[in-house]
Structure 1
């Protein structure tokens, strides 16, 4: 029974990651894409870590996954902010630019 729950959690996490990758292509600016990556990766990692904890049922694994999750939750917004700040300072991002998906739609 526990293997079924673990499989469902892993399947949901993989689906969430797949949907976020589609979101990266669909959103048209850097900041929206960063939002998708930071939020969804945290949620998918949480599901994966719950599955790992259910698989091993060990206190040491629980401590390790707890530390991994909290480091990610702490560092993910910081890294997204640094990327946004650098892209703004170096003018790497043009708000008027189009995504590859939008360019393909215009060509059709």
Structure 2
């Protein structure tokens, strides 16, 4: 039974990594590629590390496997965010089907400064609004 679980974890991990590589090749822009590779590859590595921990069943190897899983969970989303943000700042083209670009009103391409959502809310409150319907 344990061999079946280990085999399932390894096969599942390999399939998720294959899915990440297909997403990297087939998706239309940087941001969607980053999303696919981060999620699928991280899950693939986690499943394979769980299978390795179950296979060897030694304290040192199990501890290393869980340390690798923790490291992947902490670093993969941060790295994808930083790479995606850098790609946006250098002008990487978004997919033509992108519906909403939330960074555009907050990003100044000349200074490369990004205003927080709180700053834009405060600026909107300071600016007088025209309430006259005419």
Give the TM-score taking structure 1 as reference length. 0.78
Partner of 1:43: 43
CA RMSD of aligned residues (A): 1.7
Runs of 4+ off more than 3 Å: none
Partner of 2:15: 15
**SS of the residue 2:10 aligns to:** helix
Any stretches of 5+ residues in structure 1 without a counterpart? 98-108
Aligned in 2, Cα 1:2/1:96: closer, same or farther, shift over 3 Å? closer
2:58 corresponds to 1:55: no
- Greater mean deviation of Cα atoms: 8-17 or 70-79: 8-17
Map 1:1-108 → 2, pairs under 5 A: 1-91=1-91, 93-95=92-94
Query: For the Cα contact (< 8 Å) 2:28–2:95, is it kept in 1?
Result: no
- Greater mean deviation of Cα atoms: 82-91 or 61-70: 82-91
Shift of 1:96: 5.2
Q: Distance in 2 between matches of 1:8 and 1:81?
A: 30
Q: Distance in 2 between matches of 1:96 and 1:28?
A: 6
Query: Which structure ranks higher in relative contact order (CA pairs < 8 Å, sequence separation ≥ 6)?
Result: 1
Work out the number of aligned pairs and report it: 96
Look at both structures and tell me which one has the larger radius of gyration over its CA atoms.
Answer: 2
- Greater mean deviation of Cα atoms: 46-55 or 13-22: 13-22
Which structure is higher in helix share? 1
- Greater mean deviation of Cα atoms: 31-40 or 3-12: 3-12
- Greater mean deviation of Cα atoms: 29-38 or 79-88: 79-88
**SS of the residue 1:47 aligns to:** helix
Aligned in 2, Cα 1:73/1:5: closer, same or farther, shift over 3 Å? same
